[in-house]
Amino acid sequence: MDGQLDGRYRLVAEIARGAIGVVWRAMDSVTGEPVAVKLLRPEAAAASDLVTGFLAEAEILAGLDHPGIVRVRNLIATEGVMGLVMDLVPGADLRRRLRTGGPLPAALAAGVAAQVADALDYIHAMGITHGDVKPGNLLLPDDGGPVRLADFGVARRTGQPAGPTLATPEYVAPEVVAGDQPSPAADVYALGIVIYELLSGRSPYRGGPPSDVLRRHAGCVPVPPAGMPTPLWDIADACIQL
């Protein structure tokens, strides 16, 4: 896709693609800075419920100011085009990092967990549940800056009317599997699963169809993987048992 959005943003290269959106690396012609632009696919932009969710994500992000959260810069809302302009974070997400480099060293995993926990504590204090904490939504900057929590597409405010739950099966809390709405405790549970994965290279419940994965959250108890440092296992276990 070529061209300039909103008379300002020149799309350069696609970074990531999801079910309803595409993230592009772009250049801001006003500031001269590289940015990330998350665009709804045309078919999604034509669906009123998806547009409403996209605008809700923009509204939530606009009210957040934390070094561990990807900052939103602008909202593009023109006929047929819906986009969010955000900080560009050069570096891989943790899903890609695990796939290419294997489990993280214990010290790095501990640092990542602490930074994500701090970002979650911030949004929870703001009355927001992320709802999809997983390695693919955690960005590890090349410059050594803070780990960034990204993709607030399914985030919700406390007291928001219930809607469909869209959490990723490998990280969804048992109470959400049972039908409850995601809460801050569900984010903490997901963080525990992430810590496990950072040290072992895989989540404890991976394998088989999503229905099987979901059942394991309710009926199984993870055990520490071989070589996992006891202090980190204690933290992961406390999150999972919360």
Residue type, 40: L
Annotated catalytic residue, options 132, 151, 180, 234: 132
Query: What sign for the dihedral angle of Cα 34, 141, 73, 57?
Result: positive
User: What is d(CA 109, CA 190) in angstroms, rounded to the nearest whole number?
Assistant: 15
151 a catalytic residue: no
Identify whether the C-beta of residue 128 lies closer than 8 Å to the C-beta of residue 182: no
Residue type, 218: A
Give which of 110, 114, 108 is closest to 144, Cα–Cα.
Answer: 108
User: What is d(CA 179, CA 241) in angstroms, rounded to the nearest whole number?
Assistant: 18
Q: Rg of the chain over CA atoms, in angstroms? A: 18
User: 72 — phi, psi (to 5°)?
Assistant: -90, 140
- Catalytic residue IDs: 132
